[in-house]
Structure 1
Amino acid sequence: MSDLPGSPPFSPTVMLLTVARVWDAAYAEALKPLGLTTRKYGLLGHVRGTPGISFSELARRSRITVQSAHTAVAAFVTAGLVDDGTAHAGSASTLRVTAAGEELLARAAEVVSRLDEEFAGRHPGLTEALAAEWRGVVDERG
């Protein structure tokens, strides 16, 4: 692959990080009307994907502190998106997404699907290359 004169050599790491930032900005903008951020969408998805998840495990999976997980879940509970079956100090929590949370996740999935379709339409080769790479990662985990 040839580089432009005077430019640094091509770096897949830098390219992926740059593309990720551009996509993340578009993703964040698309989720904003739903009252979600990228992190909130991920947290809510983890709660749905693992009913009964603990705050510690939610924090680990989301790469945030347990205190941040508590703060986020408290906001979800207030908004009616998550139910904490125990919700008192000293007891293990049993977090579950409510029907309203499921509806919000479904709407967010539609937003993500539209973004994916737009991207695939503009960059079909890159889309297929990323899909192939992902399949390789999944196969390695076996």
Structure 2
Amino acid sequence: MTDSESPSGRFRIAISAWEARMSLWIETPTVLDKTTGETLLSFKDGNWSLDAARWLSDSIVELTLRKYPGNHLPVNIIATLDCANRTARIGEKEVQFLAEVESALDNALTWRTVTPPPRAARSGFASAVRRFFFGK
């Protein structure tokens, strides 16, 4: 993903990329108002990554975001930012201030926990010796 500007050039999405693991890049966006120099959206947790940005108008942008690591549902979340009014929508939820976007995104995730499968019952001579010596 590369940096992106609104149609008029007033708003800009700057990307800061880092490699989480081999060939897995996290591209954290920052949304800026070039006229005022104000940072409209900045992520404290650098694990949010921008997969796509689509300008719907000069001041409204749709961001498709994912959070690393990906053990959550949904995999991607769409945040629609109104840069001029400094508000957003995440799914059906209205966000009054852009400073609240990151916590609203975090709250929209359902984390999955992975539990290992149960150990299979051991049988046979090797298992009997292991149980005798190690109690397992």
From the two aligned structures, give the one with the greater strand fraction. 2
Larger radius of gyration: 2
Answer yes or no: same fold by TM over 0.5: no
Normalised by the shorter chain, which TM-score bucket? under 0.3
Q: Using CA pairs under 8 Å that are at least 6 residues apart, name the structure with larger relative contact order, 1 or 2.
A: 1
TM-score normalised according to structure 1 size: 0.22
TM-score, normalised via structure 2 length: 0.22
